[in-house]
Amino acid sequence: MSHLHIPDGVLPPLVWILGAILAVLVLALSGRFTRHQGPQQIAFQSALGGIMLAVMAIPMPITAFDYCMTLAGPIGVLLGAAGALQVSFVVTVILALLGQGGFTVIGLNTLVLGAGAALARPLYCSLVAWLKPPGAMAAATAISQLFSSALWIGMLWLSVRVAPQSARDHEIAHALVWFKGGALVAVLVPLLGLAVGVEALLGYGLAGFLERVRPDLLPRSAGTPAPSPEGVKP
């Protein structure tokens, strides 16, 4: 749900062009925060990006349908906002080259996937003062997933608002009417709930494991400096 997978030619150009410009600005900003990072951090980001892609490729037998995870929340917690946005962009570009989501929606996909991931670490750092790391990770993952989904729906709404006179926006307006119609909501809301629940449980298991074997990889509560993989000796 948090990954659009919308192919080329469906959204109005104004929306995806704005998305692309916004994504460039956000990535440039993230570049300012990470400009002093060494190759070790880039290698770590890339390893997590690889995990994100590999995990997305494996369908999980959760219900009668297979569900593809994104791991955006846990990766956002491990990397922080700037790193998570950069990883989201790289993953989105590679997916677009494989025909999963269009070239023109790379910007929007990055924003939707990356924004949720970027939110995850601040949430985790706030929550870990109250909860144990697995619980904080699960909650941060769930909230970031819901945030991404809200952005996805907001993007559709924006498609209608930006240029309501154009034919394609009319189509999107129809899509929203259909959403409101109830039939789709009845299908999507339970699926979204299930997806958020599964991602949260995965985050719970992941944080539980890391807490036991490598707690230094997990960020600490707000106010405590987060550990960096650069500081960890191999």
Partner 1 sequence: MINTFAQVDYLASAGRSVWHRASAFTKLLAALAAVGAAVFAPGWPALAVLLVTAIALTVTAQLPPRLILAAATTPILFALLFVLASWHGHLVDALVLGMRPVISSLIALWLVGTTPYPDLFAPISRVMPRALGDGLFLTYRAVFTLLDRIERLWKALFLRGALEGPLRRRASMMGEAVGTVVLYGFERSQRLYQVMHLRGHSGRICGCRHWLEVREEDAWVLALVVWILLSSLYLSGVPRT
**Binders of partner 1 in range 141-180 (CB under 8 A):** 167, 170-172, 174-175, 178
Query: How far is it, in rounded angstroms, from Cα 142 to Cα 150?
Result: 12
Q: Minimum Å distance from CB 24 to partner 1?
A: 10
Q: Minimum Å distance from CB 122 to partner 1?
A: 20
Q: Counting contacts by CB under 8 A, is residue 204 touching partner 1? A: yes
Q: Minimum Å distance from CB 20 to partner 1?
A: 12
Q: In the set 2, 92, 104, 148, which binds partner 1 (CB under 8 A)? A: 104
Contacts with 67 (C-beta within 8 Å, 6 or more apart), sequence order: 59, 60, 194, 195, 198
Residue number, 116 or 141, with CB nearest to partner 1 = 141
Q: Minimum Å distance from CB 135 to partner 1?
A: 12
Stretch of residues binding partner 1 (CB under 8 A), selected from 95-103, 111-119, 124-132, 145-153:
95-103
Q: In the set 91, 113, 128, 195, which binds partner 1 (CB under 8 A)? A: 91
Region 33-72 residues binding partner 1, contact defined as CB under 8 A: 34-35, 37-40, 42-51, 53-58, 60-62, 71
Q: Counting contacts by CB under 8 A, is residue 183 touching partner 1? A: no
**What is the 3 state secondary structure string of the chain?**
CCCCCCCCCCCCHHHHHHHHHHHHHHHHHHHHHHCCCCHHHHHHHHHHHHHHHHHHHCCEECCCCEECCCCHHHHHHHHCHHHHHHHHHHHHHHHHHCCCCCCCCHHHHHHHHHHHHHHHHHHHHHHCCCCCHHHHHHHHHHHHHHHHHHHHHHHHHHHHHHCCCCHHHHHHHHHHHHHHHCHHHHHHHHHHHHHHHHHHHHHHHHHHHHHHHCHHHCCCCCCCCCCCHHHCCC
Tokens 């809200």, located at residue: 150
Residue number, 59 or 224, with CB nearest to partner 1 = 59
Residue number, 62 or 222, with CB nearest to partner 1 = 62
Q: In the set 193, 214, 215, 224, which binds partner 1 (CB under 8 A)? A: 214
Q: In the set 72, 96, 127, 143, which binds partner 1 (CB under 8 A)? A: 96
Residue number, 59 or 223, with CB nearest to partner 1 = 59
Tokens 């910007």, located at residue: 107
Q: Counting contacts by CB under 8 A, is residue 73 touching partner 1? A: no
